[in-house]
Amino acid sequence: MASVIDDGGGRKRIAFVRADGKRPAVRLGKVTAAQAERIKLRIEDLISAAATGTPIDDETSRWLAALPDDAHAKLAKVELVAPRSGERANLAGFIDRFIDNRPGMKEHTRLNWIQVKRWLVKHFGESRAIQSIDAAAAEDWRAFMLKAGLGENTVRRHIGRARQLFKLAIRHGLYRGLNPFDGMDATVRADKARQFFVTRAMIDKVMEVIPHAQWRLLIALSRYGGLRCPSETLALKWADVDWEHNRIRVPSPKTEHHKGKESRMIPLFPELRKPLLDVFDEAEPGAEFVITRYREKYQCLGTQFKRYILQAGVALWPKPWHNMRSTRETELSETYPIHVVCAWLGNNRAVAQEHYLQITDTHFESAAAGPDGGEKKSGAESGAARPALAGIEPQRGKSADKKSPVLPGVAEGCGNMRSQQVPATGFEPVTSGLGNQRSIQLSYAGSFEHAIVVAGADQVYSG
């Protein structure tokens, strides 16, 4: 396939036949016969990979990565490898190019990629040649992130995005060999220990301390409408509220790139009517968006929400926005078919089962009480401490004055949770990585206007 030719004076070259019939040669200069033979074997590997369309093996990949630029350029000249260039070959430049070539990328997505770049560069360095990153280096990167304190799910997300980057590099001929991130676990799994059922009594207490109608509506939309906050709550417009037919069209920026997933319809649940009307009465003439006060990127709704929770004397629960949405899906699934609930919440059964549906104390207590004890009387009616699961009535669209179905959940006291306090400064410490939020110890009383939080570039909050 290839042969070593002695040019005299210790100089050698390797000649080979390309698929197009041409016979190029790679001049090696002064090398020993043993060195020339080893290089010939590597060149034969490259020729074979090019002819069969298969990736080169890891050993040849490492050899290529370690070559000086001038030696690599000789191989590129005879079209055995893609040429190196500062922007295309180094890690930071390649990721920047990847991000810049996607002008329609959402801000949240762009921040995710910036986080991946940050952690890759932090470990490998900006000028690291992407070809030099093999499977062992990828595993080292994973260990580096875990040691730095990132959560397991955050690390898996970063690995999944790094895999996408290298898949693109392979497709463009910038990386030869198997994707170093293939085979690494990139599946995000639910942390069941952080699931929490947010009872109606807890929300009622929080609502009592909030002076602003729009803030109360933000909470109601998440807890009783199941909307993602802030993406879906801030996207909601008055034109989306169908008062006559008791329905709300929910725009979904997270899933709008999937055909047919640009929005979904939910009932105008009785719990949403009054908060919506309160905001409607205060709205400026011609207002387009339902929520108008908290739309700036630097305003951190999560931090202010935690202040309100603690101000109300309620123990701070994990993942405040997500667990309200999770609670609502659990609650609705007790009354309506799961395919209906998933359509309203905007997810599928697998996602609901893994990340949203909860097993509560009520389920255990109702089962222990047996069918008679669970159906005849609720805990409140019988005077017993046991909350009841039965007796939930389906919500009708136009029964705005009726009480909505109640599913008692975890005890309001939440004595097993550690009390936390939040500083009045309104500034959060920068998190160590995307999705890795540190605990906050604060106590605060005051309005949102006096507590605008400037979020760092690596802080991303989702509902």
Tokens of residue 17, six digits: 């036949």
Q: Which residue has the higher pLDDT, 202 or 78?
A: 202
- pLDDT (average), residues 440-450: 38
Query: Which 3 state secondary structure label does DSSP give 13?
Result: strand
Average pLDDT over residues 445-456: 38
Please report the pLDDT score of residue 117 as a whole number.
93
* Weakest mean pLDDT among 99-108, 322-331, 425-434: 425-434
Answer whether 10's CB lies under 8 Å from 3's CB: no
For residue 318, how many C-alpha atoms fall within 13 Å in the half-sphere facing its CB? 13
* pLDDT tens sequence across 239-296: 999 999 999 999 987 776 667 778 899 999 999 999 999 999 999 998 999 999 888 7
Question: In this structure, which amino acid lies at residue 187?
Answer: T
Q: Locate all alpha helices (DSSP H) within 148-199, ordered by sequence.
A: 152-171
Using DSSP's 3-state secondary structure scheme, residue 252 falls into coil
Instruction: Name the nearest CA neighbour of 333 among 358, 308, 307.
Output: 358
Inter-residue contact 115 to 434 (CB < 8 Å): yes
Q: In what order do the strands lie in the sheet with 247-251?
A: 241-242, 247-251, 263-267
CA distance 352 to 341: 9
Q: Reply yes or no on whether the pLDDT at 354 is more than 60.
A: yes
DSSP-assigned letters across all residues of 331-394: HHHTTS-HHHHHHHHT--HHHIIIII----HHHHHHHHHHHHHHHH--HHHHT-SPPP---PPP
Per-residue pLDDT band at 408 (split at 50, 70, 90):
very low
Mean of pLDDT over the chain? 78
Q: How many CA atoms lie within 13 A of 93 on its CB side?
A: 12
* Cβ atoms of 335 and 392 closer than 8 Å: yes
| Rg, the chain, Cα only | 30
pLDDT of 431 > 60? The answer is no
pLDDT confidence band for 57 (50 / 70 / 90): confident
Look at residue 452 and tell me whether its pLDDT is greater than 90.
no
DSSP H or E stretch at residue 66: helix 58-66
Instruction: Identify the band that residue 440 occupies on the pLDDT scale cut at 50, 70 and 90.
Output: very low
Question: Positive or negative CA dihedral for 278, 283, 286, 290?
Answer: negative
Whole-angstrom Cα distance, residue 169 to residue 50? 16
* Confidence at residue 83, expressed as pLDDT on a 0 to 100 scale: 67
Residues linked to residue 241 through DSSP beta bridges, in sequence order: 248
- Phi, psi at residue 224, to the nearest 5°? -110, -20
CA atoms within 13 A on the CB side of 357: 15
Eight-class DSSP state of 248:
E
**Would you say 444 and 422 are in contact if contact means Cβ atoms under 8 Å apart?**
yes
Q: What percent of the chain lies above the pLDDT cut of 90?
A: 37
Q: Which residue has the tokens 């669970």?
A: 374
Closest alpha carbon to 225 in 210, 205, 240: 240
Percent of the chain with pLDDT over 70: 77
Predicted TM-score (pTM) of the model is 0.52
Output phi, psi for 11, to 5 deg: -85, 140
Main-chain dihedrals φ then ψ at residue 386, nearest 5 degrees: -75, 125
Q: Find out whether 355 and 190 touch, Cβ atoms under 8 Å.
A: yes
Question: Does residue 329 carry a pLDDT above 70?
Answer: yes
